[in-house]
Amino acid sequence: MTLDKDKMLEYCNTFSKNTLMETLNIEFIDAGEGFLVAKMPVNASVHQPMGLLHGGASVALAESVGSAASHFFINDKEQEVRGIEISANHLRSIREGVVIGTARIIHKGRTLHLWEIKVTDEEGNLISLCKLTNMVLAKSNK
């Protein structure tokens, strides 16, 4: 399949309107064969009480980018994606700046997609390492 990076990014940023992704200011910034990248600002709106990036915000970034990436491997007229499991190891803290989530496909099956998502700071330091499993379902006629 040939992927058009600009169309992929436009699609992802458009479907993010009026969602948690918009609330967290997640922006999709790069795409290609088997990967998708998004960034999220780190400021008080995503901090936990100690003034650090909340682990849940990191996981929200990871699930957002991994789930969006699965859409490029399905027929969206007949199928839809559901995240069924996500795990995260938080390895480093950050107080301000930007974090970048890069999803790379590990397994692309007919009904399951497995993604590794690395959340890094702007210097490439690993903040969180996540694994996301998405299920591919037939759209219901309801």
Q: Tell me the pLDDT tens digit for each residue of 14-72.
A: 999 999 999 999 999 999 989 999 999 999 999 999 999 999 999 999 999 999 999 99
Q: Which residue has the tokens 């996301």?
A: 132
- Write down the pLDDT at residue 142: 60
Q: Tell me the two tokens of residue 89.
A: 């190891």
Q: What would you report as the CA-atom Rg of the chain, rounded to the nearest whole angstrom?
A: 15
Q: From CA 84, how far away is CA 109, in angstroms rounded?
A: 15
SS3 19: coil
Residue from 63, 78, 80, 116 carrying the catalytic annotation? 63
Q: Which residue has the tokens 């849940």?
A: 56
Q: From CA 66, how far away is CA 57, in angstroms rounded?
A: 14
Q: From CA 93, how far away is CA 19, in angstroms rounded?
A: 25
Residue 38 sits at the vertex; the CA angle it makes with 54 and 85, to the nearest 5 degrees, is 60
**What is the pTM for the complete model shown?**
0.94
Q: Is 63 a catalytic residue?
A: yes
Residue with the larger pLDDT of the pair 8 and 127: 127
Sheet of 27-32, strands arranged across:
27-32, 35-42, 97-108, 112-121, 126-138, 79-90
